[in-house]
């Protein structure tokens, strides 16, 4: 692994010296109103049983983190979802399976490469959308005796590097059997010291038939619509802004958004919030511009990725 990291930095060096990396290392700071505007066409906000605001996608029976691809990056395992809202819902906050069997998203302020916990059962690797406490250097929590199979997605490690969709995932009955023999999954990455990271060991997956061992550096896009750089290294380009509110402030922003939404520049902080404490609601703001609720189409191939996440390859 040390040899790989050294070689990878060597590949990036010419681009770095030309100043090409600089615009893609800084994460833009945005008000949560910007996130609300981007998510609005694809779902709606509602109160859960604990009176928290949660986001419900418009698609009926939506199952999070079942369409996309896994990449190993300098941040660990990164989920590249195909839904147009995946850049937010799969990397901030966490998904919750409600009593009615439908999934809703509880928004959060901290970005993670993937908000999941991991398990291994035989030749299968499993992940479950959940709240992430720490990304790495911490032993995984043990699995419960009565894990709900609806929360888990299991994939054969032989095809783990390929595109994920419901057709290649284990069915519900098979998932139930896999959970009976499953155990928490993490691996050790050795750089200047050993570091515990969630998920499978990529080198072990590479030894599986059809496996491939490749890691990417993760870069930040200035905006969701920002084009890829023409002269770029091998890597993952993702929109992962810094949210200015904390989790409580986000809940207050959603409450205010439900009543009236300010006019917020799509790539900056709302002027009405400038100089205010996190989450504080401005006294007067303009009513929202509501857009029709849209059903997003299911992706049919690996080229249909979320707009905010683009993978760049060396020519």
Q: What is the pLDDT of residues 205-218, one digit of tens each?
A: 877 665 666 788 89
Q: What is the pLDDT of residues 175-230, one digit of tens each?
A: 999 999 999 999 888 877 888 889 999 988 877 665 666 788 899 999 998 887 77
Return d(Cα 72, Cα 211) in angstroms, integer: 13
Sheet order of strands, 153-156 included: 153-156, 124-129, 116-121, 183-184
**What sign does the CA torsion over 225, 228, 229, 234 have?**
positive
Joined tokens for residue 283: 């006294």
Joined tokens for residue 66: 């079942």
Joined tokens for residue 202: 């990529």
Residue 25 C-beta-side C-alpha neighbours within 13 Å = 8
pLDDT of residue 227: 84
Residues with Cβ < 8 Å from 7, sequence gap 6 or more? none
Q: What is the pLDDT of residues 61-89, one digit of tens each?
A: 999 999 999 999 989 999 999 999 999 99
pLDDT of residue 195: 83
Calculate ∠ Cα 189-194-198, nearest 5°.
45
Q: What is the mean pLDDT of the chain?
A: 78
pLDDT of residue 62: 97
CB 142 within 8 A of CB 184: yes
Joined tokens for residue 289: 């511009």
Joined tokens for residue 315: 């020519």
Return d(Cα 83, Cα 306) in angstroms, integer: 5
Q: What is the pLDDT of residues 77-127, one digit of tens each?
A: 999 999 999 999 999 999 999 999 999 999 999 999 999 999 999 999 999
Residue 275 has pLDDT above 90, yes or no: no
More confident residue, 120 or 261: 120
pLDDT of residue 64: 98
Confidence of residue 148 (pLDDT cuts 50, 70, 90): very high
Confidence of residue 235 (pLDDT cuts 50, 70, 90): confident
Structure letter (DSSP) for residue 227: P
CA distances from 124 to 57, 113, 119, 152, 178 (A): 28, 21, 9, 12, 8
Confidence of residue 146 (pLDDT cuts 50, 70, 90): confident
User: What does pTM read for this prediction?
Assistant: 0.77
pLDDT of residue 301: 34
Residues in the chain: 315
How many CB atoms are closer than 10 A to CB 304?
13
Q: What is the pLDDT of residues 9-60, one digit of tens each?
A: 323 433 443 445 555 778 999 999 999 999 999 999 999 999 999 999 999 8
Question: Facing residues of 166 across strands?
Answer: none
């Amino acid at each position: 692994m040390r040899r790989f990291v050294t070689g990878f930095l060597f590949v990036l060096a010419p681009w770095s010296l030309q100043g090409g990396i600089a615009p893609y290392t800084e994460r833009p700071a945005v008000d949560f109103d910007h996130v609300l505007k981007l998510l609005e066409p694809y779902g709606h906000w509602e109160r859960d049983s604990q009176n928290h605001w949660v986001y419900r996608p418009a698609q009926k029976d939506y199952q999070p983190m079942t369409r996309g691809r896994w990449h190993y990056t300098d941040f660990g395992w990164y989920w590249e979802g195909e839904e147009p809202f995946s850049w937010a819902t799969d990397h901030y906050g966490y998904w919750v399976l409600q009593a009615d069997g439908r999934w809703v998203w509880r928004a959060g302020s901290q970005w993670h490469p993937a908000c999941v916990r991991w398990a291994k059962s035989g030749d299968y690797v499993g992940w479950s959308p959940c709240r992430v406490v720490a990304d790495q250097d911490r032993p995984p929590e043990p699995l419960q005796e009565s894990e709900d199979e609806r929360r888990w997605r299991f994939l054969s490690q032989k095809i783990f590097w390929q595109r994920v969709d419901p057709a290649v995932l284990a069915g519900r009955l098979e998932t139930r059997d896999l959970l009976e023999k499953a155990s928490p999954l993490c691996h050790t990455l050795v750089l200047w010291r050993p570091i515990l990271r969630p998920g499978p060991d990529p080198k072990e997956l590479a030894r599986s038939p059809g496996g491939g061992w490749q890691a990417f550096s993760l870069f930040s896009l200035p905006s969701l619509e920002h084009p890829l750089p023409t002269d770029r290294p091998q890597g993952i380009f993702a929109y992962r802004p810094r949210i200015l509110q904390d989790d409580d402030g986000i809940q207050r922003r959603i409450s205010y958004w439900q009543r009236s939404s300010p006019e917020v520049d799509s790539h900056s902080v709302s002027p009405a919030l400038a100089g205010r404490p996190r989450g504080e609601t401005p006294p007067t703001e303009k009513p929202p511009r509501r857009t029709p609720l849209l059903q997003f189409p299911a992706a049919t191939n690996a080229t249909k990725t979320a707009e905010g996440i683009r993978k760049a390859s060396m020519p």
